[in-house]
Amino acid sequence: MNLLTALVVAVIFASGTFLLLQRDLTRVVVGIILISNAAALFIVSSGLLRGEAAIYPLDESGLTGQGIADPLVQAMALTALVIGFALAALILVFVYRLFASQGTMDLEEVAEAELRDARSLDLADDPEREELPSEEQDDESYEADAEREGRTPR
Amino acid sequence: MSAEQILLTLPVGVTWVLAVSLALLDGRRWWVGSIAALGLAVSLVSLFVLAFIVVRDGPVTLVAGGWEEGVGIAFRADALGVTFALVSVTVILAAMLYEVFVGVRWRAFPSLVLFVAAGLSGLFMTGDVFNFYVFFEISMSASFILTGYREEDYQVRGAFIFAVVNLLGSVIFLIGIAALYTVTGSLDMQVIAERTALLETGSVLVIAAVIFAAFFLKLGLFPFHFWLPAVYVGSHASVAAILSGALANIGSYGLLRFGADLLPRELGIGTVVVMVLGAASIIYGALQAVSRRDASEVMAYSAIGQVGYILLALAIGGPVGYTAAVLYSVVNSLNKGVVFLAAGIRGPLVGAAFVIGAFSIAGVPPAAGFLGKLAVFKAAIEGQGGLVGAGLVLLVFLGGAFSFLYSFQIYQRKYVRPGSSGKHPERDADLVPTKLGPPAARYLVFGLALVLLGLGLYPEPLVAVSQAAADVILSGGYGGAP
């Protein structure tokens, strides 16, 4: 049982790592989700007791107290899952934002854009430039963004 | 609850409640930002009082829900945690005020900054390893969003890189915690320290390596540094100050708490590794910083080098080493706060502030940075005899020389050289500083630089607090005798 869980965790973690190293940004996000789920599984497995329930079993005679799995690790796994879920959503937003502004999901192309931008970095804090949307972005999504974030539309 | 225990909940409670309520308001209005700054100020004052109590009377403990100690989730403020919380909240408060003066552009900004502060103060004052992870994630996720502040493309890219890399780091840390729980059966730091001391080293060593790797990543040490320049260079001034002045403290605090305090034996085994990593970071960061032109880029690489000193001090260990590590972390985050904030605006006062910050990083005497360098120097001489000691002294000296070189280079490029000569408009674009900020922001940055200078001229409180923090580790803190 332990070996099996360990193998499952290892395979999920390895797949996550593999995806994390891909060029496509969606795959990177999926990789992150897999890795954080592997961690949650690892936590659960650290309190594993041969598949017993975590709830304290009560029968007619009173407390049995035998063979319950550790409930604390399950609470921990739940917390970790929620955090991982929230962060996956956040990273997806970043990916969407990158896609909206650059029209690509490829890490290499994003990196090229990064090099281009690095040269004009010093001009970035210019207040006039801040108010303008980036050129690649279509107006519709900008307006939608502006509305959602409560920015004053131009 | 006693008065001290109520005081213990204030830094987390006030910022947390404000963060949630300010999230509903439009953060671009000046008064919303001011309320956030006020909340941070309340948190800072209560941390000051708490620090005073903790240094005088020893740690304050609060177990959530009135459970017995060891059953409930413990909150515990000792000199080490309070020192780190104090300096982090100071930098965050400065960054928040700066942003209010310059003009907040996001409605969520004040609330996110408060979440970072709440997460950090909770993390520095918790006695439970899983809570440490939760607070860690609260401050990290808020800072991921903050990195994208202003929404320039390169800032969103920076936020993406930052989020992916650090999420990987926190997952690794989480696995370390789960493994610690498996071998000790507890999440309470005190119990973990007691029980790991009884276990055989093999299994704990692997866990320690996993946890240390997570903190190395957070600190941005040499082989783990790849994400750091992309994030620090692109970020807006106040965000970069929060990231490098406050958030990076998680790494140094984590290494001190988990390494020196909870797993001292494992840290002892890994001394050579820690020392080599620290040395590599110092050399790598300094060389890269010397070769860069842009001020914020130089400072980003210098940040890699600066954490190397903290690691060296940690590896040396003992009372001198730990004191040096705490002292250097405190001074370093103030330096970074001043320098990154000053890099965002210009003007004579800001120039002076930047110079003070940069030369404090280089370790020039009147500024507080000198104290940090001195402490590491002293630790290298006293802590390690023979050839290793001599090598460390040479390394610290070499690193100091390099940091002096790059500080002077930026100073020259940014402030001495007259503006555009008209011959090379392309190149001059690099050299023209950014916009002249509002006067209040400039006074603020200058004031923060004066604090740095003041700490250098009157170092007694800082040294005393660092010693108290080192005593916490050495007297067992959570663990037994080292």
Q: What is the DSSP string of A88-148?
A: HHHHHHHHHHHHHHHS--BHHHHHHHHHHHHHTGGGTT-HHHHHSPPTTS-HHHHHHHHHH
Amino acid identity, residue B237?
Answer: A
Q: Using CB atoms, which residue from A39, A86, A114 is nearest to B174?
A: A39
- Chain A residues in contact with B111 by the CB 8 A cut-off are none
Overall average pLDDT of the A7-36 stretch: 93
Q: Smallest Cα–Cα separation from B241: which of B112, B330, B116, B341?
A: B341
The partner residues of B10 in beta bridges, in order of sequence, read none
Distance from CA of A113 to the nearest CA of B (A): 8
Chain A to chain B Cβ contacts (< 8 Å): 112
Identify the residue whose tokens are 């402490």: B375
Mutate which of B25, B153, B206 to test chain A, going by most A C-beta atoms within 10 A? B153
Percentage of residues in chain B having pLDDT higher than 70: 94
Q: What is the mean pLDDT of residues A79-84?
A: 92
Q: How far apart are CA B380 and CA B397, in angstroms?
A: 11
pLDDT number for residue B297: 84
Q: What is the pLDDT of residue A67?
A: 63
Q: Is B227 an 8 Å CB contact of chain A?
A: no
Residue A50: C-alpha distances to residues A42, A47, A54, B237 (Å)? 15, 10, 11, 53
pLDDT band (50, 70, 90) for residue A125: very low
Q: Do the bridges between strand B60-63 and strand A62-63 make them parallel or antiparallel, or are there none, so unpaired?
A: unpaired
pLDDT class of B115 with cuts at 50, 70, 90 = very high
**Residue A65: what pLDDT?**
54
Work out the end-to-end distance of chain A between its first and last CA atoms, rounded to an integer number of angstroms: 61
B99 close to B27: Cβ distance less than 8 angstroms: no
Q: B159 vs A102: CB contact, 8 Å cut-off?
A: no
Please write the tens of the pLDDT for every residue from B262-296.
888 888 888 889 989 999 999 999 999 888 877 77
Among the residue ranges A12-16, A81-85, B117-121, B461-465, the one predicted with the least confidence is: B461-465
The three-state secondary structure class of B340 is: helix
- From its phi and psi, is residue A62 left (phi > 0), alpha (psi between -120 and 50) or beta? left
Lowest pLDDT segment from A4-18, A63-77, B436-450: A63-77
Handedness of CA B101, B107, B112, B117 (dihedral sign): positive
Mutate to test the interface with B, among A19, A25, A87 (most CBs of B within 10 A): A87
Per-residue pLDDT at B417:
55
Number of other residues whose CB lies within 10 A of the CB of residue A118 = 15
* pLDDT tens-digit map of B165-207: 889 999 999 999 999 988 888 888 888 888 888 888 888 899 9
Q: From start to end of B306-350, where are the E strands?
A: none
Using the beta-carbon criterion (under 8 Å), do B107 and A113 form an inter-chain contact? no
Q: Is A35 in contact with B148 (Cβ distance < 8 A)?
A: no
Say what the pLDDT of residue A100 is.
Answer: 86
* Alpha-carbon torsion angle B239, B245, B246, B249, nearest 10: 140
Cβ of A125 and B344 within 8 Å? Answer: yes
- Comparing alpha-carbon positions, the chain B residue that sits nearest to A146 is B106
Q: A40 Cβ partners below 8 Å, 6+ apart?
A: A77, A80, A81, A84
The span from the CA of B365 to the CA of A69, in Å, is 60
d(CA B360, CA B331): 9
Which residues from A are below 8 Å from B420, CB to CB?
A: none
Per DSSP, B185 falls in state S
Give me the count of residues in chain B. Answer: 482
Which residues from chain B sit within 8 angstroms of residue A27, using beta carbons?
none
On whether the CB atoms of residues B263 and B204 are closer than 8 A, the answer is yes
Contact state of A124 with B171 under an 8 Å Cβ cutoff: no
pLDDT at B432 (0 to 100): 47
Note the pLDDT tens digit of each residue in B13-50.
999 999 999 999 888 888 999 999 999 999 999 999 99
Pairing mode, strands B74-77 and A58-59: unpaired
Residue B420 pLDDT > 90: no
Contact B211, B258 (CB under 8 A): yes
pTM over 0.80: yes
The pLDDT confidence band at residue B425, using thresholds 50, 70 and 90, is very low
User: What is the mean pLDDT of the segment spanning B209-225?
Assistant: 88
Q: B164: which chain A residues are within 8 Å (Cβ-Cβ)?
A: 20, 28, 32, 91
SS3 string, A44-104, reads HHCCCCCCCCCCCCEECCEECCCCCCCHHHHHHHHHHHHHHHHHHHHHHHHHHHHHHHHCC
Question: Residue A61 above 70 pLDDT?
Answer: no
Interchain proximity B153–A101, CB inside 8 Å: yes
B420 and chain A in contact, CB less than 8 A: no
| B150 contact residues in A (CB cutoff 8 A) | 130
Write the DSSP symbol of residue B412.
I
Does B180 lie at the interface with A, CB-CB under 8 angstroms? no
In this model, does residue B481 exceed pLDDT 70? no
Contact status, residue B62 vs residue B5, Cβ threshold 8 Å: yes
Q: For residues A132 and B448, which has the higher predicted lDDT (pLDDT)?
A: B448
Query: Is pLDDT of B426 > 60?
Result: no
Contact yes or no for A130 and B105 at CB 8 A:
yes
| Mean pLDDT confidence for B442-466 | 89
Whether residue B328 contacts residue B316, with contact meaning beta carbons closer than 8 Å, is answered with no
State the DSSP string of B2-48.
-HHHHHHHHHHHHHHHHHHHHTTS-TTSHHHHHHHHHHHHHHHHHHH
For B324-335, what is the mean pLDDT? 92
Q: What integer pLDDT is reported at residue A131 of this predicted model?
A: 43
CB contact under 8 A, B294 and A122: yes
- For the record, the structure tokens of A89 come out as 């959503």
Burial label, B435 (beta-carbon count in 10 A; 0-12, 13-18, 19+): middle
The pLDDT value recorded for residue B224 is 85
Mean pLDDT along residues B425-440: 59
d(CA B373, CA B375): 5
What ipTM goes with this model? 0.85
pLDDT value at residue B233:
81
Judge whether residue B431 has pLDDT over 80: no
Residues of chain B with C-beta less than 8 angstroms from the C-beta of A122: 294, 429-430, 432, 434
Is the confidence at residue B418, as pLDDT, over 60?
Answer: no
Q: How confident is the model at residue A64 (pLDDT cuts 50, 70, 90)?
A: low
* Residue B140 binned pLDDT confidence (cut-offs 50, 70, 90): very high
User: % helix / strand / coil in chain B, to the nearest 5?
Assistant: 80, 5, 20
- Report chain A residues whose CB lies below 8 A from the CB of B167: 32, 36, 87, 91
The residue assigned the tokens 């500024």 is B367
Specify which residues B76 forms β-bridges with. B61
Q: What is the mean pLDDT of residues B1-17?
A: 88
How many residues are given for chain A?
154
Q: Is the pLDDT of residue B246 over 60?
A: yes
Looking at residue B71, its pLDDT comes to 78
Task: Share the mean pLDDT of chain B.
Answer: 86
Give residue B11's identity as a one-letter amino acid code: P
A21-30, A58-67, B5-14, B60-69: which range is least confident on average? Answer: A58-67
pLDDT digits (tens, 9 = 90+) for B365-412: 888 888 888 888 888 888 766 778 888 888 888 888 888 888 888 877
* Backbone phi, psi, residue A8, to 5°: -60, -45
With beta carbons less than 8 A apart as the criterion, state whether B117 and B43 touch: yes
- Share above pLDDT 90 across residues of chain A, in percent, rounded to a whole number: 31
Q: How far is residue A39's CA from residue A46's CA, in Å, rounded to a whole number?
A: 11
Enumerate residues 6+ apart whose C-beta is below 8 A from B50: B4, B7, B8, B11, B60, B77, B82
The answer to whether B143 contacts chain A (CB < 8 Å) is no
Record the tokens describing residue B263, joined without a space.
């797993």
